[in-house]
Amino acid sequence: MLRIAVQSKGRLFEDTMALLAEADIKLPTSKRTLLTQSSNFPVEVLFLRDDDIPQCVASGVADLGIVGENEFAERNEDAEVVYRLGFSKCRLSLAIHKEIDYPGLEWFNGRKIATSYPGILKRFLKEKGIQADIHVITGSVEIAPGIGLADAIFDIVSSGSTLISNNLKEVEVIMKSEALLIGNKNMTAEKKEVLQELLFRLNAVKAAEDKKYVLMNVPTDKIKDIIEVLPGIKSPTIMPLATEGWSSIHTVLDQKCFWEIIGKLKAIGAQGILVLPIEKMIL
Ligand SMILES: Nc1ncnc2c1ncn2[C@@H]1O[C@H](COP(=O)(O)OP(=O)(O)OP(=O)(O)O)[C@@H](O)[C@H]1O
Ligand SMILES: O=P(O)(O)OC[C@H]1O[C@H](OP(=O)(O)OP(=O)(O)O)[C@H](O)[C@@H]1O
Ligand SMILES: [Mg+2]
């Protein structure tokens, strides 16, 4: 039985639970238990505040944890990154009042910086030789300069809208972050085996992300032209239609280049194009 520590509520909770569900790991839906077992896979889920997840995994109380890279870096605990999950993307940045002319990092010498990430900030400032005063605050960091609590902030930025609404501007990006699956370094061979199965499922889910299954009817004499514009996983499947001179082509397309390719297919003569979601993909 593998124990996975997951954020009990907050930014990571929904995407984490959705990912486990896509990997067909069934968990009871009633939320208020702190430890819950899957009914169809040998894992149990432990719900914690994200701050406590790295330590819990490093100490072996949990075998795995799903946590933001920022929080993992801040805690500096001895666990390993097992898989980069790709959601909850954000960055940790230094920001100052929007009207200040920013000359470069030396501006921070002698300034007071408010943050919930003192560990990462301290390491960064030391590496750059900047002497600043770190003021630890656990939330609403962006308000600090406006109320005279600090000259600058070091916090999470995603869209940047919190900075804008507090009259701040981002001047240095210190680290990029995404959700990570972290693991204890001393897992037993049995647990590692379950982890391999979990990773196999996560890979299948991730590989299918942003991919579409596309079916279309094409004039048989245009098949060669159509294949030239299709970047499918291998070669596309081609089947004759009942109507003489027509064929059906099936392939997988990346969402990113989807519209561009569909346009080209139509121009060549493809018709009746169907686009279906893909749940899992085993490569
Ligand atoms: N605006 C955002 N966009 C994308 N990801 C974010 C954003 N804000 C936070 N995150 C990521 O989600 C993680 C959890 O954020 P959340 O705000 O839920 O943390 P928290 O308030 O510390 O939660 P907890 O109550 O568990 O301690 C962060 O550590 C970060 O990795
Ligand atoms: O660049 P943005 O898209 O505006 O996102 C950044 C904000 O998101 C997070 O706060 P959250 O909304 O989770 O609220 P919190 O203060 O309760 O953590 C983070 O602490 C920033 O304040
Ligand atoms: Mg937290």
Sheet holding 90-97, edge to edge: 133-136, 112-115, 152-157, 90-97, 168-177
Q: Do 64 and 1 meet the contact criterion of CB atoms below 8 Å apart?
A: no
Confidence of residue 5 (pLDDT cuts 50, 70, 90): very high
Q: What are the tens digits of pLDDT across the range 138-147?
A: 999 999 999 9
> Which DSSP helix (H) or strand (E) runs through 239?
strand 237-240
- CB distance 90 to ligand 1 below 6 Å: yes
Give the ligand 2 atom nearest the CA of 159: 3
Predicted local confidence at residue 189, as pLDDT: 97
**Domains of the chain with bracketed CATH:** 2-87+178-207 (3.40.190.10), 90-177 (3.40.190.10), 210-277 (3.30.70.120)
Give the ligand 2 atom nearest the CA of 165: 4
- ipTM of predicted assembly, 2 dp: 0.95
- CB distance 162 to ligand 2 below 6 Å: yes
DSSP for 158-212? SSSHHHHHTTEEEEEEEEEE-EEEEE-TT--HHHHHHHHHHHHHHHHHHHHTTEE
Ligand 2 centre distance from Cα of residue 114 (Å): 15
Predicted local confidence at residue 233, as pLDDT: 60
For residue 153, count CB atoms less than 10 angstroms from its CB and return exposed for 0-12, middle for 13-18, buried for 19 or more: buried
Q: What are the tens digits of pLDDT across the range 80-116?
A: 999 999 999 999 999 999 999 999 999 999 999 999 9
Q: What are the tens digits of pLDDT across the range 26-35?
A: 999 876 789 9
